[in-house]
Amino acid sequence: MAKTETLLAPELYINRELSWLDFNYRVLAQALDEYTPLLEQAKFSAIFSNNLDEFFMVRVASLKSQIEAGVSTLSDDGLTAQQQLQAIRAKLRPLLEIQQQHYRHSLKSQLSSYGVHLIDYANLNDGQREWIETYFQNAIFPVLTPLAVDPSHPFPFISNLSLNVAALVRDPDTGQQEFARVKVPQKNLPRFVQIPAQLSGKQPEPVYTAVPLEQVVAFNLRLLFPGMHVEGHYFFRVTRDADLELRDLEADDLMEALEEGLRKRRRGGEVVRLEVADEMPEVVVQLLMEGTAVEAEDVYRVNGPLGLDDLMSLVAIPLPQLKFKPHKGRTATALARTQKGQLEDGSIKAEEFESIFSVIRRGDVLLHHPYDLFSTSVEEFLNQAADDPLVLAIKMTLYRTSKNSAVVAALIRAAENGKQVMALVELKARFDEDNNIQWAKQLEASGVHVVYGVLGLKTHTKILLVVRKEKERLNSYVHIGTGNYNSKTSSLYTDIGLLTARPEFGADLVELFNYLTGFSKQQSFRRLLVAPVTLRSRMEGLIRREIDHALAGRGGHIRAKINSLVDPAIIALLYEASQAGVTIELVVRGMCSLRPALEGISDGITVISVIGRFLEHSRIFWFGNGGAAELFIGSADWMSRNLDKRVEAVAQIEDPRLRQQLEQILDLYLQDTGAWHMNSEGQFQKRQHGGEQHLVQQEMVKRWRGGLIAAT
């Protein structure tokens, strides 16, 4: 068996940034797949672009900051920050061209056959052009501000992710060519300007006809520069460093620091990417580079529209045959008093819904979203707690929640009903900081005790505790989940949740909340694995136990479904386990720095990735334990930040019925015929369509409808 230092050798690890780009390509591949409905193709292409924006704002920005600060630390795979940036550019540029080719040559043409026409301004007919010009004058022209660049007008500030027109105009009197920037008002107007169907001149009339907003602006620049000759227009877009670096501060100061940080983010940090239209002349590119202070390697020429994240708006087009069949979910079987009580949309009649506390007392309940409705499980749990006169206290964590949140409304109502309500609102949830600040203020104003977590740690755990007085004693009811308390994402992400009244879990959550809100230094828990206190040591101990089983001939076996695997210590331990004969089956949605199937190192490890209509977000950990398997769910991935720098909770599933359900779910993932399989070089290959398909998300919908995997 190789020594630990050997198992930490750089050649055994895949760069996390490059692995993330591979994951984002798998997202793009959903758009490229002919079996994906057309409007869903547009959605996946939009997600690919939106993911990239955040990648540049955070990860690329971090690497550039390391270079500027002279940081010489190498990545786990032995690369400098500069080498990583070079590798990112080399890997990304072909992906951008693949995306644009799909948009130009596949998506647009196929959509047109269904009456959806995304047309360029130059191809408008006379009637459409006249309508667009009127629309421009009435709805766009008044809000535009052309900004000249000359010795008396410095280069203007370009806001983050804004779409812009670089205009070249010539003064007919002096012959002097000038440069001006015009910001496209995409935040206030739709990216695709819809044209009345009757102007198409086609029969039958199209369902949707639109022209990109930036083209409407560009082809009407003459109205912005009267008396000048417009000689050219070119589109560009910048991405800025948007990460917030905060000192460890007390709660009041933290909110103030975050609000100031958000103001700075809106103003924008350093430019980390400059996207320009492929046809932009080099002289204009140079002018933009100087104005935005970027180097040549930060410039990305794009052969097509910039900012394709706006393709997401096309999903609203009323063509259901071009979308996935709607999936609304149903009430979890254990929580539905009678089947006849369920309405067609999967919800239940209020009079048919018995006390959720009675259900949980009878036995643990497993929830699997989006197949089980969030509204009739977690939200119903919270709503009943808010209104139940026997409930004395509610405590929960909020990391990301939706606008018009039913969860927040229930907490406010509970406080107004005189209950002790505590909400830990994580203000540092990236890109949700402003939303969470507003929720925190609203909750505090309503009488909810709001705290912001442990100094120096981000609170990522998803936990909810309800304390109820029953027969002169206090009983605890608990929800522990893998996903956020967010009704919107609960219908888009796959997540697992546990509802339980087991006293050990209640006692653990009481102590964990004391750790989060006070000065507790709790070092042990009964049924929870808690980061940064016990999670790493327990996870490593569980892996080592499988090594012992394998060495003793009892067949070590590990299965895990996670979002990311990049922690070097865990990876080295998995390599050691593989060498000892442990069978390791991993379902990793995103980044994976482990190399499977390396001879003599990781022969016993397989890695697959499942990408589908729902974002895979659940985390499940299964350890064979010599035939007495133990199984866990929780909010943590095998990443250093989850194990060491965040507050996380992973719960052991004790009910045999629930363990069996989770084992069935793991089986479905591992048998998915559409999964991506990772090779020893870190490359993922997808099985080709053909023959009988067993796609886990489709299979889950079928089995859930048939009651074969029911959260009972």
The residues carrying an active-site annotation are 460
The radius of gyration of the chain's CA atoms, rounded to the nearest angstrom, is 27
Quote the CA–CA distance of 83 and 510 in Å, as a whole number: 47
In 471-513, where do the E strands start and end? Answer: 473-481, 493-500
Two structure tokens written together for 537: 């040591």
Quote the CA–CA distance of 438 and 436 in Å, as a whole number: 5
Quote the CA–CA distance of 199 and 191 in Å, as a whole number: 20
What are the CA-CA distances from residue 144 to residues 118, 164, 445 (Å)? 24, 11, 40
Q: Is the dihedral of CA 145, 146, 147, 152 positive or negative?
A: negative
Q: How many residues does the chain have?
A: 712
Specify the DSSP element, H or E, that contains 253: helix 251-267
Cβ–Cβ under 8 Å, residues 215 and 189: no
Place of tokens 């069978």: 583
Name the burial class of residue 123, with classes exposed (0-12), middle (13-18) and buried (19+) by CB atoms within 10 angstroms of its CB.
exposed
- The vertex-557 CA angle with 553 and 562, nearest 5°, equals 165
What are the CA-CA distances from residue 9 to residues 77, 414, 595 (Å)? 8, 54, 12
Please spell the DSSP secondary structure of 602-647, one letter per residue: STTEEEEE---SSEE---EEEE-GGGS-EEEEES--BSHHHHHSEE
Name 475's bridge partners. Answer: 468
Please spell the DSSP secondary structure of 352-413, one letter per residue: G---HHHHHHHS-EEEEETTB-STTTHHHHHHHHHH-TTEEEEEEEESS--TT-HHHHHHHH
